[in-house]
């Protein structure tokens, strides 16, 4: 099969479009013919290499997949060959206390497609049967692939961790990111007032079309995003405010003034991916047209390197997707 493979970490040109053997499935797995694979910032980290994260090489990246079932293992009962599917990106053990209580994003064996295992930037990908989600028939493959990782992450941040309440004010940093464009819609769905930041006025207009009530251009006004935004993010919190973060794109060193933390009764919340249960809820709302993936640009699989460079330039609004 054709696949995007890298044998060493580095700039986008380490991504090679080559022939590799089709994956062999286990009894509890399915083989999916990939139709579209959306990129995430995670793909850039995986390609660049992360300290202390031994990505197996050579490696096929890609976490967000929509496609059709091509083959099923002998123990598979819930999907059939030819069925359209969207895949949950998180692969877990399925047996530990976290997994069986539905908190699978706390599984110690948690990984994503395309992270510690091969992903969907290929004609075929193998996944456990339990990762197959119902396909939202109102969406194209490119749109469907743009949903899982970012909507699951944004849902877990706002609903699972921050327990967003109707009428609250939400500041969303980076409206043009995949997570940002999902978070605006989810926050509005819960009846919040949304203030979104972006680096251009054009992106802020798009954020408002998605439902944001107010926009802040972080190039011209104070508020930037990671280490770069931390102090201002803390300062932006209302008394009893919650700060929830799902990454460290601009760096991982942060300091906190404990006087503000206790006297203003602030909460600092980390959030990592989301649960499959949350993803089922998201997919139901997507199928009903209540939440919509935002696809910025589609590249053919063979041009994955150009797609990575484009995502790295931060000029997109929403998702960059590879068509297979
Ligand atoms: Zn587990």
Q: Specify which residues 50 forms β-bridges with.
A: 53
SS3 for 143?
A: helix
SS3 for 37?
A: strand
Residues 6+ apart with CB under 8 A from 295: 142, 143, 146, 318, 319, 321
- pLDDT value of residue 232: 85
Cα 295 to ligand 1 centroid, rounded to whole Å: 32
CA separation for the pair 30, 50 (Å, rounded): 29
Cα 10 to ligand 1 centroid, rounded to whole Å: 31
Cα 83 to ligand 1 centroid, rounded to whole Å: 27
Cα 80 to ligand 1 centroid, rounded to whole Å: 25
- pLDDT value of residue 305: 98
Residue holding tokens 């997919």?
Answer: 283
- pLDDT value of residue 102: 94
Cα 317 to ligand 1 centroid, rounded to whole Å: 34
Task: List the pLDDT tens digit at each of the 324 positions of the chain.
Answer: 999 999 999 999 999 999 999 999 999 999 999 999 999 999 999 999 998 999 999 999 999 999 999 999 999 999 999 999 999 999 999 999 999 999 999 999 999 999 999 999 999 999 999 999 999 999 999 999 999 999 999 999 999 999 999 999 999 999 999 999 999 999 999 999 999 999 999 999 999 999 999 999 988 887 666 777 888 888 889 999 999 999 887 788 888 999 999 999 999 999 999 999 999 999 999 999 999 999 999 999 999 999 999 999 989 999 999 999
Which letter does DSSP use for residue 158 in this model? I
- pLDDT value of residue 67: 98
Cα 110 to ligand 1 centroid, rounded to whole Å: 7
Cα 76 to ligand 1 centroid, rounded to whole Å: 20
Pairing of strands 319-323, 295-300: parallel
Q: What is the pTM (predicted TM-score) of this model?
A: 0.95
Phi, psi of 214 (to 5 degrees): -140, 150
Cα 91 to ligand 1 centroid, rounded to whole Å: 9
- pLDDT value of residue 223: 67
Cα 217 to ligand 1 centroid, rounded to whole Å: 41
Cα 272 to ligand 1 centroid, rounded to whole Å: 15
**Upstream peptide bond of 58 is cis (omega within 30 degrees of 0):** yes
Cα 274 to ligand 1 centroid, rounded to whole Å: 14
Q: Kindly tell me the number of DSSP H helices and DSSP E strands found in the chain.
A: 10, 16
- pLDDT value of residue 158: 98
Positive or negative, the CA dihedral 278, 283, 289, 293 is positive
Cα 196 to ligand 1 centroid, rounded to whole Å: 35
Cα 157 to ligand 1 centroid, rounded to whole Å: 20
């Amino acid at each position: 099969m054709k696949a995007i493979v890298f044998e060493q970490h580095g700039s986008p040109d380490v991504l090679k479009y080559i022939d590799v053997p089709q994956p062999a499935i286990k009894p509890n797995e399915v083989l999916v013919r990939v139709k579209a694979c959306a990129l995430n910032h995670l793909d850039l980290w995986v390609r660049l290499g992360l300290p202390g994260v031994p990505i197996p090489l050579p490696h096929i990246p890609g976490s967000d997949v929509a496609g059709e079932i091509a083959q099923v293992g002998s123990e598979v009962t819930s999907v059939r060959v030819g069925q359209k599917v969207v895949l949950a990106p998180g692969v877990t053990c399925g047996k530990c206390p976290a997994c069986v209580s539905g908190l699978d994003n706390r599984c110690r064996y948690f990984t994503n497609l395309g992270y510690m295992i091969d992903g969907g930037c290929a004609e075929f990908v193998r996944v456990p049967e339990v990762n197959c989600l119902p396909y939202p028939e109102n969406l194209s493959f490119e749109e469907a692939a743009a949903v899982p990782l970012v909507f699951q992450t944004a849902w877990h941040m706002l609903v699972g961790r921050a327990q967003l309440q109707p009428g609250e004010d939400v500041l969303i940093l980076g409206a043009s990111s995949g997570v940002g464009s999902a978070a605006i819609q989810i926050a509005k769905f819960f009846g919040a007032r949304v203030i979104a930041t972006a680096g251009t006025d054009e992106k802020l207009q798009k954020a408002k079309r998605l439902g944001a009530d107010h926009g802040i251009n972080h190039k011209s006004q104070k508020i930037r995003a990671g280490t770069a935004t931390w102090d201002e993010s803390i300062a932006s919190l209302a008394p009893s405010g919650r700060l929830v973060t799902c990454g460290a794109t601009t760096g991982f060193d942060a300091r906190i003034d404990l006087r503000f933390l206790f006297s203003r009764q602030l909460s600092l919340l980390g959030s990592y991916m989301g649960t499959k249960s949350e993803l089922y809820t998201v997919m139901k709302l997507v199928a009903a047209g209540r939440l919509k993936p935002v696809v910025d640009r589609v590249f053919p699989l063979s041009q994955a390197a150009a797609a990575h460079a484009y995502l790295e330039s931060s000029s997109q609004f929403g998702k960059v997707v590879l068509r297979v």
